[in-house]
Each structure stands twice: as C-alpha cells, then as structure tokens.
Structure 1
Amino acid sequence: MTVSRRGFLQVAAGSAAGLVLSFYVPAGVRAAKAAQPPSSSPNAFVRIGTDESVTVMLAHSEMGQGIWTGLAMLIAEELECDWSKVRSEHAPVASVYAHPVLQIQMTGGSMTTLGEFERYRTVGAMARDMLVRAAAARWKVSPAACKTAKGVVTHGKDLLTYGQLAADAMKLTPPTTVKLKQPKDWKLIGTPVRRLDTPEKITGKAQFGIDVSFPGLRTAVVLRPPAFGSRLVKFDATAALKVPGVEKVVPTANGVAVIAAHFWAAKLGRDALHVEWTQPDGGGVDSARLLVEYRAKAKTRGAIATDVGDVDAALAAAKSRLEMEYDVPYLAHAPMEPLNCAVKIDGDRCEIWTGTQLPAIDQQVAAKILGTAPDKIAIHTPFLGGAFGRRGSATSDFVSEAVIVAKAAGVPVKVVWTREDDVRGGFYRPAYVHRVQVGVDARGAPVAWDHVIVGQSVVAGTMFEPFVVRNGVDSTSVEGIDGSPYLEEIPGRRVSLHSPKTPITVLSWRSVGHTHTAFVMESVIDELAHAAGQDPLAYRLALLKGKPRHANALKVAAEEAGWGTALAEGRARGIAVHESFGSIIAEVAEVSIEQGRIRVHAVTCSVDCGTAVNPLAVEAQIQGSIAFGLGAALHSKLTIRDGVVQESNFHDYQVLRMFEMPRIAVHIIPSNAKMGGIGEPATAVIAPAVANAVFALTKQRLRSLPFRLAQD
C-alpha cells in the first residue's frame, strides 16, 4: 500500500484544509489507470479542517441509497472523529476514484459499500495515525501512549483537537500500513445513524441536477422521435421561434432542441414545431406481437448457460412433469427527478452538471463529441433524485445529447426532460418470457429442470458486452436461475437463453436480471410445493437443507410474520427467498382481495447482508425496494404499438400510491458472512411473495406481471 508523497503534498499545498489525506490505490485500480484519462487530481481523500470539520469525498453518487452517510461512517469509525463535524462531497471524475472491484468510476450493482469497505476504513486509520504522531511529536512522547476519541488526541491531561493538529499532520509521511479495528471494537459501524443529507433535503437546500442555475444558462427541451425506428426528415422552426422566450432551435443527433430563456418557453416552442419523421420499418415494433414471438421462441432451446446431465431423459423418467410459462413487461425507471443535464463549453474545455451513475464514461463521450481531451471535461455531480439504473447509461445518451445541444446553441444549456419524455424516452427494463419444465419424483422433489428464457440483453452493443456475455449468454439475463441453490442438486438441469434484438432500447433496472428471475424461480418453487401437497415453507427448507443462510432467512421471516398461525378471514400469506448482489432476502407478504384488486397489508422481511454498516439505512433501502417492486408487481407496464409507447405519466404508468403502502417489518440477521449489497435485493422478492399469497388465498396462479386477477 503506497502513496506518492509528492502527489500528497501537491494537493495539500493547494488546499485550505489543515490535513488532506489521499487514499491508497489498490493494484487492480492502478492497472486500470492506464485505460482512464490522465488527471492531476489526487487519489480520493479526506479533508480535516482547522475548524474541526471532516469532509469525506465520495467516489460514488448519492442517489437515495444512503452512501452520503455510509461511506463517511467507514472513515469516521477508524478516524475516531466527532461525528457531528462530518460532511460529504461528491468527488470529481478521476481514475483514482475507480471502484476497487469494477475498476471504473461508477455507482451501481449495489456494490458501493461492499467495494469500499476496506478502502474507506483504511484512509480513516491513516489519518488517525498521522494526527496521533503529530500530537506525540509536540508532547515528545511515544504515539503508542496517546489516545483518540471524538476528534481529540490525549496523553494524560494533555489534549489537542484534530483541527489544532491538522497542519502538523499534513507535513508527515502517510503510513504504509495501518491496522484496522476488529468488529468488536467498532463504535459507529453497525449502529443506526441518521442520514447526513436529510436536513438539506428537508429544507430544500440540497441541489439536484434539475436545480442547477447560473448566469447565462439557458433551458432546452428536445423533441425526440415519436416511435422506435423513426428518424428525423426535416423540421420547420418558424412558429417555435415566435414563442416569447425562445431563442434558438437546433437539430440534435436524433431530434430537434428548442433553447429558451426558461423551461416553459422551451416547452411551448417545442409544441409549436412542425416536424416530419420517417415511419418505422415494418410499421413499428409492437409489444403484444413481441410477446407472441417470445412465447414461440421459448419452445426452442437457446444459448446454453447450464447443461448438466441428460435433461430430456430425466424429464421422461420423472414421476410427473409440470410445464409453466411466465412473462414480464417492459418497464420504465421513472425516477422522481426526470433526466436533465447542464453543459457549459468554453473553448476546448467543458463543464457538465448532471446526476449520473457513470461519470467516467460520460467524460469520455463528451470529450469525443467536442474533440478535446477527457481531462478537460469537468463533471459536477449533484444529488440524484432517483435513478434505479436509468442514470447509468453506457451510451451516455442524455449527457451526450446535452453536449450536442450546447455545442450547437453556442451558449450554456440545461436540457430538461419532462415526465412524458422520461417515460417515453426508451432505455427500459426488457420484457421477458420464461418457459419451465420440471420433472418431480414421488415425493414431489425436482429431478429434472429445463428452463428457457427469452428477452433482450441490457449490455449488448455496450462497452460491458465483452465482460458480461459469454458464448451468447448475457449473465445478467440468467442471474438468479443459473447457479440457483434450488438447482444445484438436480441431476438433470438445463438453462438456456434467447436474446432477440429489437428497436427498443433497454437498460438495467433496479435489481437487473433478478427482477424477473426471482419472480419466476420463487413462483415455480411454490407451484411445486402445492403440487406436492406440502407447506411452501417446509418444501423450500427441504430443498435448501445445504444452504444454512437461505434457510435461516426463511425461518426468521416466517417466524416474525407468524407463518402457520391463523389470519383474519379473507387474508393469506405467501413466502419467497432469493439471493442477489451477495445478500439473501426472505419476504412474507400478507394479502387480501378488495373490490377485485390485490391489497398487500403487510410485508415481513429478513435480510442477511453480512455486515450492516448502518442498520437504519438497510431498513430504509429495504422499505424503498419493496415499494418500488410492489408498484411493478401491481401496476407498472409499458405498452408499445406501432413503435410508440402508449403510457406517458404516472396516471397511466402507475407506481405504488401512498394508500397502498403496506406495513413493512425489517429484520436484519446478525451475520459474519461476506458483505452483500442492499440497494436492490429486496425489489426482486416482493412480486413472488405476493403472487404466492394470492394463490394461497384464491388458488389463482399469477404468471404475468403486473398481476391481474381473473374475473368471474
């Protein structure tokens, strides 16, 4: 673990802080550095000011998942500073902020905390070591004789604050190795801590991308193709330019932008445009027709993800066979803050303000558009008003569009998407069809499993494809099935995948492939349990006898939910368990049917995520994930006809309403397992838990999302 003293002193000398400490760079990140743009920025660092403030630079984006607090807790734990003095800031784009595992500066995959757990604690320990040595030098005592607590170094009755020591500590050489605390000695990690960003967000002080404003900034809205496969032929801006406040109309890569003094003028100007588009080839893609095509394709074998034993022979020899088909629709991400991006171009330099999950890629794309070096592109990351994957576009679609508009306009421009633009703008969770054939023995246990999945790849055609797609199989399309603990002991098992291409642009959606694979796997297991005449919990526990963490999560959720006890008339429970992003989630849903609609009254959730850095944040993320997933299970669906998305806003692309929010009880299981992610896993489990509860109540097996009950 090495730190350049020259680089350390260079950044320290240019800072008003008393102590600026740079991170060590793991070998994997150092190796990746050559592929990233050169930068004069130091490694990610913590600043300790003479005013006792401790500022933590975040290598990742805060989009509601709580890392503004969680990462700061990691440094504060080892630093032993005064928590009330801690604050966070988003770091700039630089190769040294690359994720230690993914080797790119990004936020996604529920990997922030688990990826930074060692790195952020290490920098806290390094800073503490330097402060202690600075104090010991003043007192002429051994550093080992000094103690630290709440931002103060003491030796007997002598004491010095971190702020008083910061300047002296800055002059010292950072340690090459540090010893991190053992879990038994943690004072902050593992305790419930209120979020640092909450006060700003309550008071309105927090700045999101859509809030960005400065003198000379203009607002633009873009008229994009009305249908997938349509292209711009020509446009007439005469009427648009007559709208008061409209200043310019320029073409973009795939549409027309109206630049104005403010948003409303830009929108009215866009409404006044006369535009001619080409018609999509073949009349345009149709989601209903795609579903028929996917179902037909699911009857054929795809690219092989898993193939163990003689599956066909095992199916033929089974005591009985079950055949099932499941499908899920295209879904929009629909974050509360629609997409936006502000761009200011000054010669060969450019500043960008946007909520993004992939700033390193955005920087490269912007540089290419402007014909300049990546290190001349500065990206400022405000808070993200939700993302769920939409702000992690590998093509940087919304950022590149804003750069193109600003370049054409010749003035600083903030491109703002309306809610309708956001819902109809593409980059959706793909639709999928699953066809499953399971052969069971006399006890109802599976002995053969043939599983075919059909759906678009979210990485095809992107920089991630070479790393994610192997032998025609996109691992994100089969995750949660390929390698499922339920399948490990089945002697004949096969999982195959078709990844058809369509004009519809797709992107990862919260919990990625697990959004559909968890629904299918846990529903199928429930079907097998009922077909065998067994209790769904007992059936799962029998299949998972070699998986103690899964079994324990099931038992905790079931016990806390009162599984097996009587419920009020007209109610039933359903259970599901699934592992994703290194965490195991079990959920029990309690439902009823009210006026022909599914009502979810309560959800009991157990989570084994290894170390829970901030239990309060874990609970909040699970609550939010369940609400997000429940909205998709009950309501959300995109319908595409003639290449045109029919839904436009929350009135027809429905998400969960306040009155529909169930009571949620979260039980964090103490665990010594390797840390897992927490921002996404609970989203995947809620749909099957609800479907299984509905079956227990009505005997209707719901195999399509969103759920629709059969009417008598």
Structure 2
Amino acid sequence: MKHDGQRPGKSSDAAMPTRRSFIQAGLGVGGAFTVVFGLPQIARYAQRHTQDAASTEVDIPPFIPNAVVQIDRDGHVSLTISQVEMGQGTYTSMPMLIAEELEIELSTITVKHAPPGDTLFGNALIGEQVTGGSTSVRAFYDPLRKVGATVREMLIAAAAKGWNVDAASCHAENGTVVHSPTMRKVGYGELIQIAASIPPPADVKLKMPSEFKLIGKAAKRLDTPEKLNGSAVYGIDVKLSGLKVATVSACPVLGGRLASVDPKNALAVRGVRQIVQLDNAVAVVADHMAAAKKGLAALSIIWEAGPNEATGIADIVAQLAVASETPGAVAVQRGDVAAALDSAATRVDAVYQMPFLSHAPMEPINCTVHVQEDSCEVWVGTQVVSRAQAAAAEASGLPLEKVTVHNHLVGGGFGRRLDVDSIHQAVQFAKQVAGPVKFIWTREEDIQHDIFRPYYYDRLSAGLDQSGVPLAFHHKVTGSSIIARWEPFKFKNGIDNDAVEGGSGPYDFANVLVDYVRHEPPAGLTTGWWRGVGFTHNAFIVECFIDELATTAGQDPVSYRRNLLKKDTRALAVLDLVAEKSGWGTPLPSGSGRGISIFNGFGMYMAQVAEVSVSTNGAVKVKRVTCALDAGTIINPDTVNAQVQGGVIFGLTAALYGEITIKNGKVEQSNFDTYRMLRINEAPLIDVNIIQSNESPGGMGEPGTSGIAPAVVNAIFAATGKRLRKLPIDSSLLAQGA
C-alpha cells in the first residue's frame, strides 16, 4: 500500500524526532487556537513498510500530525480524528480522553471526521488510517491524553503571562484557568491568541487514575441526540443538488461476467434516466430508489456464468478437507508435540468447521460519487478513508490529490467497510454519469456479494497424561488468508497472523504446535475481516476442544481451565468471577446446561458462561449469558456494557443461524428471511461484570462476539451430552433420538 509523506534516504529509531517535534500549535482557520500532534509509531511503520516492500530506507518526516484540536474564541473545542464512529462509541470515548486532561466538560467537544491520509491520521497499532481490530482507544489513549495535557499547560502559561504571575500558581478548571491565590478566572477562549505564541512544553504530567473525573465514569454518548432526532448523516443519507440514485446488480454467479443487457424496458420506467454497465455488473440510474429498483427488475440481462457455475459448498469444504491433510506453515511451536503425543496416556483428535459468514449491517453498502474532468468527489461511510481515496483515484484515473473523500457515520461496519470494492465499482459507474449519483446496493446485493468471513476447517490433537493434564496440543488452521490479500507485505513465511491468532488460547502448554494451511476458495468468492477477526474463529475451536479434554479427563470444565491458567492471574480472575456470577455448579432443570469459554485478546481478558435449554425437538434457547472481563482501564463503562451486549447478540446470531452457502456458483442467502438475525424474543439476559483495573486499556468492539459461540456449544453438551463441532448449530442433531 502506498504511504504518503515518505522520502528516500536513511533513518533509524535512534534518529527519531523528540516528542516536542510531534506537537505544533498556532492560530488556524477562523482564528481558532489549533494544536496538531503526531505519533512516532506511524513514522516507524511507514519506514518499516517501505523497507519491507521496496528494500529502500526512508527519512522520518520531521512532523507527522495525527489529530487536530481546535479551541475557538467561545471556548468550544473540536477534535478531528481518524477513527470512525460506527456504533461502537468512538466519538464519545476519544473526546473523553481529551476532556479529562484539558479540564473541560465533555459536552463542549465536537468531533469531526478526518480526511484521508495514512501518515496524517494513522492508527499506530495498525500503521494506517484504519478503524478496526478494537484498536481505537488502545492506539490513542496516551496520545490524546498527552495532547489534552499539552493544550492545558499552554493555556495556563498564556493566562500566567497575561497576569504576569508564576504559571505554577495557576490551574485549569472547567474550561477556565484559575489563579489560585486570587481566584481570578479567565476562559480558554480568551487565551487562544496568547497561547498560540507559546511553544508546546517538552513534557507534560498526566493525571493519576485517582485524579480522573471523566475516565471510568459513565458518560452520555455525544452522538445520541442527533441519531434520535434524525439529523445524523450516514453515507446513505447524503443529499446533493441534482443528485440521482442508482441501484446495482452484479453477476449472481460468483466470478461471472455481464454478457449483454437490453435497456429498453428499464428506460420505459418513469424516473429511470440511464443504464450503465461494467464487465461484471449493471446499474440503473434514476430520480429515486423506487424507480431505480423498478428499472433494474425490468432489465433484460444475460450473464456469462464463468467457471463457478457448477460449484457448491460441498465442493469447497471437500477441498479444504484435503488441504488440511497437507503440512502447514509453523506459527507457534514449543517443545516436541509429536513425541508428547506418542507418550500420552490418552489422545484426543477432532475436526472443527466454521462457515462463510456475511456482515449484513443495517446500513447496506452505498457510495455517492461525482466525477468531473479534473476531480472526483466521494461521500461514503468507510473504516478505511485513505484506502477509499486510493480506490477512487484508481477507478477514476485521476491523481490522488484530485480525489476528495467525505466520510460519514457508519451504520454498522463489522469489518465489511474495511474493503473498498464497492467504492471502486461506484466510481467506475459514476464516470458514465453526468452529475452526482448515489449508488445503493439492495439487501440482496449486499449479502450475496459480500466480502465473506472465511470458511475454516481445523484439525486438533491433544495428548493427556493419566491425570488428564495436556502434555501436547496441536491445532492446524486451514482457510483462506485475508492478510495476503488485504496487506500482502505482512503475509510472511506462509503465515496469516490473524488466522492463527489465539490458536492455542490463553493456555501455556509445555508442548504446543499451531500451524496454518492457506487454501483459497474459488475465484470470485472473496474473504475478509468479520467482527472479532481471528478470535471469533479460534476462540470457538480452542474452547470447545478444551471442553472435550475436560470431559475426557472426567473433570469440571471450570476446574480444568483453572488448573491450566495457574500462572495467569488476570485470566484466573475473570474465570473465577464468571463462575461465581453465573452460579456455576448449581442445579438446573433437565434439558438445560451451562457452558464456559475464556480468551485473551485485543489487550483484554473475557470469560463467558451461557445457560441454555434444549427442547425434545432440538430447539436451542439461550436463556442467560454471564460475562466477566478485565479490559484494563475503562474509559466509559456504559460503552463497555453496550459493546459486550451487542457483541454477544452478534455472535449468538452467527452461532445459531449464520451461514453462507453456495449452490451452482450462487450465494443461496439473500435477505433476513434466509440469513436470519436473532429476534427480540430470542435474546438472552446478558449480565456484564467488569473487573476494575489500572492496566492499559483493552479493546471492546469485538470481544463479546468471540467467546459466545463456544460457551453456547459447551452448554449444549452439558444439557444433552451431544458434542457439536460445526457451526451454525444444527438442531436436528440435538433432537431426542437423533
């Protein structure tokens, strides 16, 4: 991937600029006091990436801004950040970090969407402008607090200068600077002129946790009012003068092409203005969506199916099964697994499978584009703003600087909007249309032409000693590589680090091997990130297999895990808390059971217990889910609760119903009737228990999703004695007599 702001030359970490050089201040547009700050990690990433990709070295730019803070004359603060708001609470938690150190009310901050630029607005944990992987707070916790503290100290210095007093005799309080001896006060807005002339301090003191006024306290979300009153603007809400609306149809056979299209009947539909086509898709441009849909239905289209016309899901799985028998690239290896398996008193082997999954966010894929001779303007909700700009530039044939991207609120991302296929397609279509046009994929198009979560086919083996303790643990992951497609320079030595992440769980086995076999599905079926990334896959497989080992050893699943986690105090704490809060070990009615899972990832620990009942016909009802988590320092506990609850519902939906299947090269699911969502009456009681901690903040967008499927499957075994090794849950296998 191209990274802007790079220059040829030599550099090293030892030559990195000091922190002072990463903060600059002055009067910006409209006379506002503007402070920009940067992250050295982004510069280091740019350097490493260029060296890896092109075997050249680069100078670290002298200043790489990463966020912008402005204070106007009324004392109002605005924050421009790269991280995108898609329901996870970023536009509240990140301003809380600034407000905490700046000593202002949270309600006085406005958050602005950042423009494109990897080095301008990069995420230090990922290395480019990306919202994903539960990294927003983790990446910006210290930097945003530091910039807040820096601005605070500059304003204090400005007030002290105006009063001709020692800055040490002043302090910040509720958007003002107070001279402690005299109790004189001056608002931040009145200080911006003087503050702009003061050099940023080389170092600042951050608050101790005991001094926090906002961090760790429940805060009302800043984006809620506009979402309630309807003024919030998502990508699909964009309105422009002269805007036309289009809807799209791509070849229903994955990898197929457009052979021909007869536009006559579609153009006869009132409101339809134009039919535009690409080599694999067609779009109907109209005055409004209803006309576009009617026009699309009236089109006479002939598709060229291509090589996947006879492909079915059974073919894809059979190929994965064969691939899983081949040697894998070693990702994790300790000890001698083969020897330990040979010497074990008992050996346990299993094959687990997880299906292709669609993201199915509430806001379907959409993109508004206006292509002119020397410019391209895009309005969209995306998790990767800089990639969106690059995709639009490539599709339009214009240089990057001629492409403007306006990012918006995202109505559900879940990893789908980490890809820019739809933006590239929209720009290609828009080149054929005069004026701005909004492309909206129907729900059917969104599901059937999604970038799917990979199908995984994994083999596991473990050897137990006579007391049931694992002597060896082997997990072979087989599936497609998202990393190899999405960020190929990170795919090294045959390993997709995401695919194997958490491949042996939180357990410290003496002899362990995690290896990986890359096997791609047929061309035209593209795989990508899905909420929880590698952990939604590996947490399910590892935690279900650990339960199998506990059963083989004749031990309680919680006690078994406790013995394997003796060295990890944080893991033990969440395990013990969830067992206590869930009533683990207390009696349940016949046909009911509890199941547990635990994992650590995203910088946090989480344990979940699911309580389920299984009817005589095999229907599964998840009654209660108890969660215990240690996510380090919590910014907004309300957000944490909401994220865990939402993640559990998302993951439970997938466990019970989520499956994309292929028949004759076509995705069989098309809308929420065939790609089911969990319904209100099916939702369990969700109890979230947070362990207070001063550790670094962990991520919260995805953990709730990752652990729920294994907890439910383990609970089903407790209730029925039937072990499921494949998702989604097949109730026919659980019916009495099955």
Q: Are the equivalent residues in 1 in contact too, given 2:352–2:726 (CA < 8 A)? A: yes
Which residue does the alignment assign to 2:46?
Answer: 32
Which residue does the alignment assign to 2:651?
Answer: 629
- Give the deviation of 1:687 after TM superposition: 0.4
- Give the deviation of 1:417 after TM superposition: 0.9
Q: Which one-letter code corresponds to 2:36 in the other structure?
A: S
- Give the deviation of 1:377 after TM superposition: 1.6
Match of residue 454, structure 1, among 471, 475, 478: 478
- Aligned: 1:599 with 2:621: yes
> In the aligned structure 2, how far is the partner of 1:416 from the partner of 1:547?
49
> Structure 1 residues 43, 293: closer, same or farther in 2, change over 3 A?
closer
- Give the deviation of 1:637 after TM superposition: 0.8
> In the aligned structure 2, how far is the partner of 1:473 from the partner of 1:27?
24
Task: Note the 1:516-665 alignment, pairs <5 A.
Answer: 516-594=537-615, 596-665=618-687
Which residue does the alignment assign to 1:47?
Answer: 70
- Give the deviation of 1:600 after TM superposition: 0.8
> Which SS does the other structure have where 2:609 is aligned?
strand
- Aligned: 1:172 with 2:198: yes
- Give the deviation of 1:31 after TM superposition: 6.6
Q: Which one-letter code corresponds to 2:515 in the other structure?
A: V
Which residue does the alignment assign to 1:490?
Answer: 510
> In the aligned structure 2, how far is the partner of 1:31 from the partner of 1:474?
19
Long gaps (5+) in structure 2? 1-18, 51-57
Cα deviation 1:116-140 (Å, max 9, x = unaligned): 1111111111211121122112211
Q: Give me the CA root mean square deviation.
A: 2.2
Task: Note the 1:284-433 alignment, pairs <5 A.
Answer: 284-393=310-419, 396-433=420-457
Which residue does the alignment assign to 1:228?
Answer: 254
- Give the deviation of 1:471 after TM superposition: 1.4
> In the aligned structure 1, how far is the partner of 2:64 from the partner of 2:329?
45
Q: Are the equivalent residues in 2 in contact too, given 1:618–1:678 (CA < 8 A)? A: yes
Task: Note the 1:4-403 alignment, pairs <5 A.
Answer: 8-9=25-26, 12-13=27-28, 15-16=29-30, 18-26=32-40, 28-29=42-43, 32=46, 43-94=66-117, 95-155=119-179, 156-281=182-307, 283-393=309-419, 396-403=420-427
> Which SS does the other structure have where 1:666 is aligned?
strand
- Aligned: 1:2 with 2:20: yes
Cα deviation 1:267-314 (Å, max 9, x = unaligned): 111112222222231534311222233223323332222344443333
> In the aligned structure 1, how far is the partner of 2:341 from the partner of 2:216?
48
Long gaps (5+) in structure 1? none
Cα deviation 1:455-477 (Å, max 9, x = unaligned): 11112333x1221x221121111
Cα deviation 1:239-264 (Å, max 9, x = unaligned): 11111111111112531111111111
Cα deviation 1:535-591 (Å, max 9, x = unaligned): 100000101111111111101111111112223444321111011212111001111
> Which SS does the other structure have where 1:2 is aligned?
helix
- Give the deviation of 1:689 after TM superposition: 0.4
> Which SS does the other structure have where 1:81 is aligned?
coil
Q: Which one-letter code corresponds to 2:104 in the other structure?
A: C
> Structure 1 residues 668, 31: closer, same or farther in 2, change over 3 A?
closer
Structure 1 range deviating more: 550-559 or 128-137: 128-137
> In the aligned structure 2, how far is the partner of 1:106 from the partner of 1:451?
30
> Which SS does the other structure have where 2:641 is aligned?
helix
> In the aligned structure 2, how far is the partner of 1:418 from the partner of 1:379?
23
Cα deviation 1:333-375 (Å, max 9, x = unaligned): 0001001111122432222111101111111121222232212
Structure 1 range deviating more: 83-92 or 260-269: 83-92
Q: Are the equivalent residues in 2 in contact too, given 1:3–1:22 (CA < 8 A)? A: no
Q: Which one-letter code corresponds to 2:148 in the other structure?
A: G
Q: TM-score, normalised by structure 1?
A: 0.94
Q: Which one-letter code corresponds to 2:707 in the other structure?
A: V
- Give the deviation of 1:219 after TM superposition: 0.9
> In the aligned structure 1, how far is the partner of 2:41 from the partner of 2:496?
28
Q: Are the equivalent residues in 2 in contact too, given 1:630–1:686 (CA < 8 A)? A: yes
Q: Are the equivalent residues in 2 in contact too, given 1:589–1:603 (CA < 8 A)? A: yes
> In the aligned structure 2, how far is the partner of 1:336 from the partner of 1:368?
29
> In the aligned structure 2, how far is the partner of 1:30 from the partner of 1:430?
31
> Which SS does the other structure have where 2:699 is aligned?
coil
> Which SS does the other structure have where 1:363 is aligned?
helix
> Structure 1 residues 494, 401: closer, same or farther in 2, change over 3 A?
closer
Match of residue 466, structure 2, among 423, 437, 442: 442
> In the aligned structure 2, how far is the partner of 1:139 from the partner of 1:568?
74
Q: Are the equivalent residues in 2 in contact too, given 1:280–1:643 (CA < 8 A)? A: no
> Which SS does the other structure have where 2:120 is aligned?
helix
> Which SS does the other structure have where 2:358 is aligned?
coil
> In the aligned structure 1, how far is the partner of 2:143 from the partner of 2:373?
37
Structure 1 range deviating more: 326-335 or 667-676: 667-676
Q: Are the equivalent residues in 2 in contact too, given 1:355–1:383 (CA < 8 A)? A: yes
Structure 1 range deviating more: 298-307 or 581-590: 298-307
> Which SS does the other structure have where 2:168 is aligned?
helix
Match of residue 720, structure 2, among 681, 687, 698: 698
> In the aligned structure 2, how far is the partner of 1:586 from the partner of 1:188?
27
> In the aligned structure 2, how far is the partner of 1:507 from the partner of 1:101?
19
Aligned length: 701
> Structure 1 residues 158, 623: closer, same or farther in 2, change over 3 A?
same
> In the aligned structure 2, how far is the partner of 1:454 from the partner of 1:41?
40
Q: TM-score, normalised by structure 2?
A: 0.91
